[in-house]
Structure 1
Amino acid sequence: MTTGFETIRKVDMLFIPILQNKHYYIVCFDFKGEDIKIIDNMKGKAKAQKMARAKRVKEIVCDYLEVEYPTMHPKMSPLEPEIMKMSWQTEKNFVDCGVFAMRHMETYTGKHVSKKEWDSGLSKESPEQDKELVELRYKYLSKILLSDINLAKGEMMELLEKYEKMEPEKKEECKKNAEKKINDRLNKKY
């Protein structure tokens, strides 16, 4: 799979998803804005650990820049990562960090574009935000399942066609069964 970029020289921003202690967040390198941000949906969760991980990621990226993009290295290497504060950050949501991370990568435009807080389209932590996250789950899942690079796309399309032909009552039953399976998985202790 290609991204359309032959080199990092043509990239304004580099998003690096981090998985730490079963929690996803983003370290974003804004090359044009000369900025490094830690973008996380959780307020204050493991701040010291996030900072340590982001600094290590910065070292790795800067080592790469020093070799492959030496004019950018002196601009990025003295920078310290900063944890962003956003109005939609959460204190009680421990299951949607992956959805938040994808939304953050999709909507963050960086310091070089705007000085004001960016609009992720997410409300503050609330039942409204919960609804928005459900919609995003559907959106991202659909894009993943129906992507041309998904080897199981054909099978997914067949299942979708079968679902579309079902009676409304049967569709509702399938939906409830799926919700139950999802909730069972979320509540399962690993």
Structure 2
Amino acid sequence: MATRSVKLKANMSKFVEEITNLLFISVYQSIKEIDLMICPMMLADEHYYLVCFNLRDPQIHILDNMNVKDSIKNRYGKKFTHVAHGTYSGKKDFDARFLPEGKEQKKQIEDLRKKYITKILLSEFNENVPVVESEIEYYHRLTLKEKKMLQDKSAKNIADRASEYFENQASALLKEKKKE
């Protein structure tokens, strides 16, 4: 029992540290300013789901497309079940039209991501649509070999840009905090 208590304290400490780090790089100064906190989660078998914490009306919701008759305890683990008791499970007949988990579903999700980002980038609300359109035209003029090379580089470029962005955000916030 003492080991469990020590592990619980360590997990809680890690959770508080992570939330503090997230608040530091976000626009929020305190968790009190947040009504909903959505956390993407992953099970060991690469199954993704969301846990939504309603901080205004203390509730926890699990958003999951898994079509399994297992209990919450079996699906997400004993520790989470204690916290999530009384969780809303959604409509039993809800059909998001996702294929069963596997390669086909991953392709389906990838296609949806492309569709959504295209809609966002070409939206009338995006002030940079002309830039996006010119890059699309440029891309269409590339050879297949050049397109393949760009695709191979894109994952690394995205990761580098994201890392740089968060480092810059954290640096800017540190400078701002020092001024205060």
Same-fold call, TM cutoff 0.5: no
Larger RCO, structures 1/2 (Cα 8 Å, 6+ apart):
1
- Asked which structure has the greater CA Rg, the reply is 2
Greater per-residue helix proportion? 2
Using the size of structure 2 for normalisation, the TM-score is: 0.44
Using the size of structure 1 for normalisation, the TM-score is: 0.42
